Amino acid sequence: MSAEPDAVDGLTRVLVRACRQLAEAGQPRAAGRLAADGWKLLRAGHPRQAMHLDGAMHHIARMEAQLEARQDQRPTSKETAVPSEEPAPTDDRILDVRTEIPRRRHELIFESFGKIAPGEAYVLVNDHDPKPLRYQFEAENAGEFSWEYLEEGPEVWRVRIGRVAAATG
């Protein structure tokens, strides 16, 4: 049994490396989704290894933002950007995670999602683009959530995350 953690560690390293290489090859979205799938498989039984994939998703999301900025000729968060318009007001609960330690943020966000009923939403406030979180939502809750950017940096991101109402038939 002592070989099992070594195998999980080794496979995690291989997956992180493969995801980064896939992102560097111009496929960051596919790399992020692959890392999120691995994160989903590891997060309950192997949280330390899942954290490595979470870190890879954050790295990949920054690469994706840089690639999009080059393609769109729009500024990244490290460049000067024109302030965005004031976000539309909403009656949704606000979850501001900017003061939370990074390893606690996603846990709080998923807990909040678990507490909302179909048709409800909350607004996530973060200090960076939460794209890695979106990959995780897609891996864990495909078809069950909505995701709407209200503000996109460079210093504050606001995303409305909702639980999709069940289809009536």
User: pLDDT digit string (tens) for 69-120?
Assistant: 777 665 444 443 334 444 444 567 999 999 998 878 888 999 999 999 999 9
Q: Return d(Cα 30, Cα 56) in angstroms, integer.
A: 13
Q: Are residues 53 and 15 part of one domain?
A: yes
Computed from CA positions of residues 45, 53, 58, 37, in that sequence, does the dihedral angle turn out positive or negative? Answer: negative
**Domain of 139: which CATH number?**
3.30.110.40
> Are 107 and 149 in a shared domain?
yes
Is the same domain home to 155 and 107? yes
What's the Cα-to-Cα distance from 130 to each of 117, 140, 166, rounded to whole Å?
A: 22, 15, 25
- Find, among 64, 68, 76, 71, the residue nearest to 32 by Cα: 64
With 70 as the cut, is the pLDDT of residue 140 above it? Answer: yes
Structural domain contains residue 79: no
Q: Residue 51's pLDDT is what?
A: 87
Per the structure block, which two tokens stand in for 65? 């933002």
Q: For residue 29, is pLDDT > 90? A: no
Q: pTM for the complete prediction?
A: 0.71
Predicted pLDDT at 3: 47
Find the domain containing 99 and state its range: 93-163
pLDDT digits (tens, 9 = 90+) for 31-68: 988 998 999 999 889 988 988 888 888 888 888 877 77
Q: Note whether 100 and 159 are same-domain residues.
A: yes
152 and 98 together in one domain:
yes
Whether residue 140 is contained in a domain is answered as yes
- State residue 5's pLDDT score: 66
Contacts for 31 with CB less than 8 Å, ≥ 6 apart: 19, 20, 22, 23, 60
Spatial contact of 22 and 31, defined as CB atoms under 8 Å apart:
yes
Q: Is residue 88 a part of any domain in this protein?
A: no
Structure tokens at 134: 């979106």
